[in-house]
Amino acid sequence: MAERTYGQFCGFARAVEVVGERWAFLIIRDLLARPKRFTDLLNGLPGIPTNVLTTRLKELEQAGVLRRRVLPRPAGSIVYELTEHGAELEDTVMALGRWGAKTLDTPREGEIITVDSLIMAFRTIFQAHEARGVTVSYELSFGDIVLHIRIDKGKIRVGAGPLPEADLILEAGPGIKALMAGEITPAQALADGTVHIVRGTRKEFVRFAQLFKIDVSPAQQQALA
Amino acid sequence: MAERTYGQFCGFARAVEVVGERWAFLIIRDLLARPKRFTDLLNGLPGIPTNVLTTRLKELEQAGVLRRRVLPRPAGSIVYELTEHGAELEDTVMALGRWGAKTLDTPREGEIITVDSLIMAFRTIFQAHEARGVTVSYELSFGDIVLHIRIDKGKIRVGAGPLPEADLILEAGPGIKALMAGEITPAQALADGTVHIVRGTRKEFVRFAQLFKIDVSPAQQQALA
DNA sequence: CTGGATCCCTCACGATACTG
DNA sequence: CAGTATCGTGAGGGATCCAG
């Protein structure tokens, strides 16, 4: 296997050699949401050839980013999960996701939305400072995609699947990005059908919009840290 | 120009489409240090083919990450510089550089060190909280590579070239990484010749080592112990 | 069904030479 | 200095096949 390197003795260059191969960073993002099987990864990465996925998994395992684990009986199946070293890429993934979100407007022809991209997106745009001491739960549907958010005393957990007992249940489309970016108000989002409240109050929805916002200035973030 | 996309409506995926092409992220890192001409970029990116550099520059210009600017007379030459949008990748570059530095041990066969990689490296590992109110200047030489650091009331600027009036002038090799990672002490670095003080006190050098540190992850610490 | 391996084809990338 | 032109190679895209 010819190593594709950059010929520089430099931490950044070495990092790019690991995560910069095609599909590699998306694999890591999906595994940040939670451990997955080969087929789960395939489904979450539209268009990736199986041989490329196999190659990336081996390379990333070699690099100490993830590990291949055989589940105990009776499941006996195989899952891929990030090592601690791999999980430390979360900051980078969030920083890059935040940057990319700024120029995200509307879906391109054929583009899909995946659960894991949304899970990481909501983790990324979560305004921790607005959530001090807050305990609340949400369920969000985007077409077939359903995910839930639990905020427990300001700490967030985002996962796939429904949460029937959630305080606020929403149905939305890609247009919800405009709400998160502050381009439209919560009232507008409801009025034009971008978001539909299945359960919960408008007031609760306004708080939701405060808790998740895209454009956070670096200065503001530093002030929080 | 066939667009290589990932088919996901997702900020992170869009970002990876921009910076994930081969060499792209390194070009951005070099431009974060300062604007550059085509040839400067070539020199800082060992092995990049000229046509690939041309292609990347056009793509990144198209993506609004950098701009091509013709300098006014009499210079008349062309520089590439990041747009504001491109400069906002600094957080991500630092986060990724920090991650990669953790597993950086010794140079591989034929690997070189570039000025710009070092400039970004020192910006990245700067411990701002240790530098409150500090004003001091350094000049560092790594073989042919010379760079300087000015810390003015806790604010850092790192640039290429010498700084004859610096408070501390050092000569070092790649082994200095061990010092920054806390694997050896300043005293050891001087004793084994990893670092040589050209001008300045040992006390000043100890402070230098406090101001620049690679954060070692818990996992890495365990591996070392 | 999961978890891949194998094949073929294309095009992005790498190397080198050359030009305004 | 700032690229363009040309050409060979191999990584990635896409489909199919196979073992447990």
Q: Say yes or no for a CB contact (<8 Å) between A97 and B11.
A: yes
Give B18's contacts in chain A (Cβ within 8 Å). Answer: 100
Round to whole Å and give the CA distance between B110 and B47. Answer: 11
For chain B (length 225 residues), average pLDDT per consecutive 10?
Answer: 79 98 98 97 96 97 97 87 98 97 93 97 97 97 97 98 98 96 96 97 98 76 56
Q: Would you call B14 an interface residue with chain A, using a CB distance cutoff of 8 Å?
A: yes
Q: Which pLDDT tens digit goes with each residue over A178-192? A: 999 999 999 999 999
- Looking at 3.30.70.600, 3.30.1050.10, 2.40.50.100, 1.10.10.10, the CATH number of the domain A115-219 comes to 3.30.1050.10
The pLDDT of residue A222 is 54
Q: Is any atom of nucleic acid chain C found less than 7 Å from the CB of residue B46?
A: no
Domain ranges across chain B? 11-88, 115-219
Give B15's contacts in chain A (Cβ within 8 Å). Answer: 96-97, 99-100
Q: Say yes or no for a CB contact (<8 Å) between A121 and B93.
A: no
Round to whole Å and give the CA distance between B137 and A194. Answer: 55
The pLDDT of residue B33 is 97
Q: Which pLDDT tens digit goes with each residue over A117-138? A: 999 999 999 999 999 999 999 9
CB A64 within 8 A of CB B103: yes
Q: Is the N-terminal amide bond of B74 cis, ω within 30° of 0? A: yes
Higher pLDDT: B190 or A224? It is B190
Q: Which pLDDT tens digit goes with each residue over A159-180? A: 999 999 999 999 999 999 999 9
Which strand D bases fall within 7 angstroms of a protein CB? Answer: 1-6, 10-16
Mean residue pLDDT across chain A: 93
% of chain A at pLDDT higher than 70: 93
The pLDDT of residue B4 is 86
The pLDDT of residue B76 is 81
Residue of A15, A113, A121 with shortest CB distance to B100: A15
Q: Which pLDDT tens digit goes with each residue over A143-159? A: 999 999 999 999 999 99
Burial of B72 by CB count in 10 Å (0-12 exposed, 13-18 middle, 19+ buried)? exposed
Q: How far is A126 from chain B (nearest CA, A)?
A: 15
Q: Chain A neighbours among B 136-195 (CB < 8 Å)?
A: 174
CB pairs under 8 A between A and B: 187
Give B111's contacts in chain A (Cβ within 8 Å). Answer: 5, 7-9
Show the tokens assigned to B172: 């070092």
Which strand C bases fall within 7 angstroms of a protein CB? Answer: 1-7, 11-17
Selected for mutation to probe chain A from B6, B12, B120 (highest A CB count within 10 Å) is B12
- What number does CATH give the domain A11-88? 1.10.10.10
Å: A66 CA to C18 C1': 46
Q: How far is A189 from chain B (nearest CA, A)?
A: 19
State whether the Cα torsion B129-B135-B139-B145 is positive or negative: positive
Show the tokens assigned to A193: 């059908």
Residues of chain A (42-71) having a beta carbon less than 7 angstroms from strand C: 49-51, 54, 68
10 Å Cβ neighbour count for B27? Answer: 25
Q: Which long-range contacts (CB under 8 A, 24 or more apart) does B17-23 make?
A: B18/A100, B18/B59, B18/B60, B18/B63, B18/B65, B19/A96, B19/B65, B19/B89, B19/B92, B20/A20, B20/A22, B20/A25, B21/B56, B21/B59, B22/A4, B22/A20, B22/B52, B23/A6, B23/B48, B23/B52, B23/B53, B23/B56
User: For residue A49, which nucleotide's C1' is closest to its Cα?
Assistant: D13
pLDDT band per the 50, 70, 90 thresholds, residue A220: very low
CB B119 within 8 A of CB B98: no
Q: Say yes or no for a CB contact (<8 Å) between B7 and A111.
A: yes
